[in-house]
Amino acid sequence: MCGIFGVFSHPEAANLTYLGLHALQHRGQESAGIVSSDGEEYYSHIQMGHVVDIFKKEILEKLKGHMAIGHVRYSTTGSSLLQNAQPFLVNYFRGYLAIAHNGNLVNYETLKEELEKEGSIFQSTMDSEVIVHLIAKSNSNSIIERIKEALYQVKGAYSLIFLTENKLIAARDPYGFRPLVLGKIKDGYVVSSETCAFDLIEAEFIREINPGEILIIDREGIYSDRIPSDKPRNSFCIFEHIYFARPDSIVFGKNVYLLRKNLGKILAQESPVDADLVVPVPDSGIPAAIGYSEESGIPFELGLIRNHYIGRTFIEPKQSIRHFGVKLKLNALKDVLKNKKIVLIDDSIVRGTTSRKIVKMLKAAGAKEVHMRISSPSTNYPCFYGIDTPTRRELIASSHTVDEIRKYITADSLYYLSLDGLKKAVKEDKNCYCYACFDGDYPVKFPKILKKLELTIF
């Protein structure tokens, strides 16, 4: 999962991109980068780390020009290395081209092997570089046609922003896995993974970029083209609603915060509990916990407090501290929890190790009972469309019953939101979401090389 942002025709393009990336920091914390241009020269700064630590005033002053694109990265394909950080800027025989990508290409290995046999030399291990090579290989004179040819060949999830000498180009895969939105600021335009970035810079939200659309922004205005495709239906990633997007964003046309509250309300309808308090796992569990509390009538309390400023720590005490990693992030409020029956709300359970530590922490703080409720169905399958989920054998729900998971995490009861309940919450009526992590029904089928991996993964 990554965050991308672009600005066209604004004198402070790099500064706005910095602010946009700051708003999208939740989508990736490994690296960040900005490429800007004045139409003649390109300026780039890419570094490992967080946005606020990378882009100091003196750096931003060097990123000149009226257009810019930016990227925050959480690696799914390719290691967490500087060479894999984006935006990816290349200088080929047709000129400069920069690209920022959110998503994951399922036929990346196949395409890379074919391109290398034809003489292409790759500078990174990220799948996004394949798109650049395909564009460079095209014989079409138009950059739009070259992009269309390249995107017709790649399969999987991609929301993209390209920067040329006189255009900002946005593209979204035909399935629409990842969000991408268009906004306006004064006489310029902005493109972002989420609308929350528009709120920060006071840009006006115009619309979503449609699945399969290529949006071209230049001095003449805005116009659209289409990626050639035989795709059967939209497949918006349901986990954008459940976890990834910021609660103050509008994603796939829906208010994320209100939708997550609705998940909690339906969860309360499906799995009532005789309890004293509803407690969220912060921050992702808070909206659903509010919804559960409102629907059930059980009071809401912040029984766990999150430390938002931990960063990374490389020092662990030699004397053993139980649940050290979790205790760095969360602290239980003993006076709130003591002798109380708790409904603990979280968005998902992946391996189960974190949930186990949190439940034990609550009980150590004096909770009488802990009933865990999850505002999504059980995660049974890995994602290949831009989310860094573990292999299937590492997903606890793929090989354990709900009661076995309950015993492992030491909860008094455990309930996952049903798939029907999830569809009810998002008002699913056109079969437009991807639920593959829950039901294994992958919209984009894997090529042979990934089929071999599938046997290992599954």
- Residues whose CB falls within 8 Å of the CB of residue 178, separated by 6 or more in sequence, listed in order: 102, 103, 157, 158, 159, 172, 193, 237, 240, 385, 386
Both tokens assigned to 409: 């995490």
C-alpha to C-alpha distance for 41 and 309, rounded to whole angstroms: 38
Q: In this structure, are residues 67 and 87 in contact, taking their beta carbons and an 8 Å threshold?
A: no
CA-CA distance, 431 to 192, in Å (whole number)?
25
CB 200 within 8 A of CB 190: no
> Which tokens belong to 192?
């972002």
Q: Which two tokens stand for residue 220?
A: 């003449």
3-state secondary structure of 420: helix
How many residues comprise the chain?
458
Active site residue 437: no
What are the structure tokens assigned to 210, written together?
Answer: 């449609």
List the catalytic residue out of 2, 237, 383, 434: 2
Token couple for 191: 């493109």
Is residue 36 within 8 A of residue 63, CB to CB? The reply is yes
Active site positions, annotated: 2
